[in-house]
Amino acid sequence: MVAGRALTMCNLYSITTNQAAIAGLFRVVSRYVGNLPPMPGVFPDYPAPVVRNDDTLREMVMMRWGMPPPPRAGGYPVTNIRNTSSPHWRAWLSRKNRCPVPANSFAEYAPEPNPETKKKDVVWFALNDDRPLAAFAGIWTEFKGERGTKSKPIPGPHLVYGFLTTEPNAVIEPIHPKAMPVILTTEEERDVWMRAPCDEAKALQRPLADDGLKIVARGADKEDKAAA
């Protein structure tokens, strides 16, 4: 359960594109997301749409954000995965468990407080000012334990997901020097992530080109309302 956990590397993003557009871009055949409203702020443990392989077709389903942690990492779900060589994560890098996670923008906290507010700004990134639909390179599994908060635990099983990170590009590095999400922007990249052998898919764990990303908002808002 994730109650009380502080926001760290990319633990906030938005998905505001409607489900018909998501289904069209990812060539989804089946949808199990119900009425999908815009989500200008997706936080850890929130349910959000994920695209996965199901035998011979692709489907869009709602999953909770946060994978089961390695045994020695403590009890918090893991939203971002960097060390794909770890035996804990290798088990979920097969074709079946790789999943694009649709997103329009994502946020990081500024490294220093804003002189006016005395708080760290929330810095939103997207491919451009129009916030076109892209995807994080994600993995998913079924988790049989409880999720939700300590006061309102929700028994499993739950479908859960996380996504890969890599070294930051020049746009991210001044804000978050440790890492950035692995972002899939083309049909070929999304197809490789969903269907290719593991070694070929893992080659996508690299930074987005510097000119492929920009800061689109900065301030106190933990929702990218311009994307909605």
Q: How far apart are CA 131 and CA 160, in angstroms?
A: 25
Give the predicted TM-score (pTM) of the model: 0.93
State the pLDDT at residue 2.
40
pLDDT digits (tens, 9 = 90+) for 154-205: 998 999 999 999 999 999 999 999 999 999 999 999 999 999 999 999 999 9
CA atoms within 13 A of residue 74's CA, in its CB half-sphere: 6
- End-to-end, the C-alpha distance of the chain in Å comes to 28
The dihedral over CA atoms of 142, 148, 151, 156, expressed in degrees to the nearest 10, equals -20
Amino acid letter, 67:
M
Q: How far apart are CA 158 and CA 128, in angstroms?
A: 34
Q: Is 193 helix (H, G, I), strand (E, B) or coil?
A: helix
Q: Is the pLDDT of residue 3 over 70?
A: no
Pick from 66, 44, 50, 45: nearest CA to 15: 50
Share of the chain above pLDDT 90, in %: 80
Mean per-residue pLDDT of the chain: 92
